[in-house]
């Protein structure tokens, strides 16, 4: 079972006698289970991603899902003859989210046991429990935001971008220039707080401290004279990534401390974490203050530590697990040209 309060981010479905009644290889006239369409749509509305791990012929199974009008709900479907634990592991890698946020639904106890043994972090459920799935707390996000409702479509946009990147002939920076990305930095408003809480709850790999904050805690920071809460939006020529980043600054007249910096894992390959830190360096230098940061290592966030190190942060002190860093603010280069920055806080970027 997931850890206490752990929310499911992705449901992986078997097909035969699970999504539909019958076995496709034995009878092509399988029928969609009565409750399945509503469950799939409700999970999608809640921002819970879905995929497939099924032992079937890929083309036949996908054509059947298409005939039911539900094929587009499933990201990175794995329809093959290999172990379902391997399929789920690949789906998690493709989506870049942790296995401890996955649920797997099947009608065969053997398959459920195989997954439970091989990837024990995954929540396994027999299909007989599918009707109660929507009422279980693990499948009920605290808030359903505008970004939640568009999550699948945003991942589908990422799939398109990634496919284009794989076939692109040129450097990483050249490809990023083709995306025509635009990052918008704003002070968080009350309307942003549900998404801000969701970001702290969902983001593990690109979170500098691993801290999670509630709506009320974030609202207190938003209204505090000693803090500043920034929200980051990103879009490109293919559409919006949504609100993908959050920064919590503790401020006084002589220094700023980054108490929390996090980015959605969906933008890990877009170099926007480094751009955001670059922006904070420019802002601190323009305001004549020191820029410090807190970092707490977790089992997933080493990449954020390396991002700090590559952007001129050096260690000043360690207090148990807490690492205190300070930025060297001299010699700040221009903002990279593969991204336009729209700054509604300090007016450093384009107007």
Which tens digits make up the pLDDT trace of 145-174? 888 889 999 999 888 888 899 999 999 999
Give me 302's structure tokens. Answer: 């080493």
- Percent above pLDDT 70 for the chain: 97
Q: What is the pLDDT of residue 321?
A: 93
**In the predicted model, is pLDDT for residue 350 greater than 70?**
no
Q: What is the pLDDT of residue 162?
A: 86
Q: What is the pLDDT of residue 148?
A: 87
* Per-residue model confidence as pLDDT tens digits over 232-247: 999 999 889 999 999 9
Q: What is the pLDDT of residue 45?
A: 95
Q: Which CATH class is domain 146-343?
A: alpha beta
Q: Enumerate the domain spans of the chain.
A: 10-139, 146-343
**In the predicted model, is pLDDT for residue 349 greater than 60?**
no
Q: What is the pLDDT of residue 230?
A: 97
Q: What is the pLDDT of residue 303?
A: 87
> What mean pLDDT comes out for the span 99-111?
96
Q: What is the pLDDT of residue 96?
A: 86
> What mean pLDDT comes out for the span 21-37?
95
Pick among 3.40.640.10, 3.40.50.1000, 3.20.20.140, 2.130.10.30: CATH of 10-139: 3.40.50.1000
Give the predicted TM-score (pTM) of the model: 0.80
**In the predicted model, is pLDDT for residue 1 greater than 70?**
no
Give 2's pLDDT tier (boundaries 50, 70, 90).
very low
Q: What is the pLDDT of residue 351?
A: 37
Better-scored residue on pLDDT, 212 or 73: 73
Q: What is the pLDDT of residue 331?
A: 80
Angle at which helices 109-118 and 84-95 cross, to 10°: 50
Give 117's pLDDT tier (boundaries 50, 70, 90).
very high
Q: What is the pLDDT of residue 299?
A: 81
Mean of the per-residue pLDDT values for the chain?
A: 92
**In the predicted model, is pLDDT for residue 84 greater than 80?**
yes
> What mean pLDDT comes out for the span 285-304?
92
**In the predicted model, is pLDDT for residue 204 greater than 80?**
no
Q: What is the pLDDT of residue 326?
A: 96
3-state secondary structure the chain: CCCCCCCCCEEEECCECCCEECCCCCCCCCEECCCHHHHHHHHHHCCCEEEEEECCCHHHHHHHHHHCCCHHHECCCEECCCCHHHHHHHHHHHHCCCHHHEEEEECCHHHHHHHHHHCCCCEEEEHHHHHHHHHCHHHCCCCCCHHHHCHHHHHHHHHHHHHHHHHCCCCHHHHHHHHCEEEEEEECCHHHHHHHHHHHHHCCCCECCCCCCCHHHHHHHHHCCCEEEEEEEEEECCEEEEEEEEEEEEECCCEEEEEEEEECHHHHHHCHHHHHHHHHHHHHHHHCCEEEEEECCCCCCHHHHHHHHHCCEEEEEEECCEEEEEECCCCCCCCCCCEEEEECCCCCCEC
Surface-to-core class of residue 83, CB atoms within 10 Å of its CB (0-12 exposed, 13-18 middle, 19+ buried): middle
**In the predicted model, is pLDDT for residue 14 greater than 90?**
yes
Q: What is the pLDDT of residue 111?
A: 97
Is it true that 10-139 and 146-343 share their CATH fold?
no
């Amino acid at each position: 079972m997931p850890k206490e309060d752990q929310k499911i981010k992705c449901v992986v479905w078997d097909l035969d006698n699970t999504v539909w009644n019958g076995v496709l290889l034995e009878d092509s006239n399988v029928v969609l289970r009565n409750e399945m369409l509503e469950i799939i749509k409700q999970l999608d509305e809640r921002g819970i991603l879905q995929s497939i791990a099924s032992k079937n012929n890929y083309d036949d199974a996908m054509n059947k899902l298409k005939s039911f009008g539900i094929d587009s709900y499933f990201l990175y479907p794995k329809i093959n003859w290999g172990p379902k634990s391997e399929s789920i592991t690949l789906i998690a890698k493709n989506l870049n989210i942790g296995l401890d946020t996955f649920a797997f639904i099947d009608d065969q106890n053997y398959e459920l046991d195989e997954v439970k043994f091989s990837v024990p972090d995954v929540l396994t459920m027999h299909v007989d429990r599918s009707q109660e799935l929507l009422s279980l707390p693990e499948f009920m996000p605290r808030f359903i935001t505008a970004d939640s409702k568009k999550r699948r479509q945003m991942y589908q946009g990422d799939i398109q971008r990634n496919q284009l990147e794989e076939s692109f002939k040129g450097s990483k920076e050249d490809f990023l220039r083709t995306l025509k990305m635009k990052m918008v930095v704003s002070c968080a408003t009350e309307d942003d707080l549900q998404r801000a809480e969701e970001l702290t709850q969902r983001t593990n790999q690109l979170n500098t401290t691993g801290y999670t904050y509630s709506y009320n805690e974030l609202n207190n920071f938003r209204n505090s004279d000693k803090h500043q809460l920034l929200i980051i939006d990103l879009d490109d020529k293919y559409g919006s990534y949504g609100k993908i980043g959050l920064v919590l600054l503790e401020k006084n007249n002589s220094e700023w401390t980054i108490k929390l910096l996090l980015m959605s894992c969906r933008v890990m390959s877009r170099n926007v974490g480094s751009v955001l830190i670059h922006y904070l360096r420019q802002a601190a230098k323009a305001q004549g203050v020191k820029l410090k940061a807190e970092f707490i290592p977790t089992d997933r966030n080493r990449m954020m530590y390396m991002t700090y190190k590559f952007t001129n942060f050096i260690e000043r002190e360690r207090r148990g697990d807490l690492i205190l860093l300070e930025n060297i603010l001299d010699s700040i280069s221009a903002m990279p040209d593969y991204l336009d920055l729209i700054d509604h806080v300090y007016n450093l970027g384009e107007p």
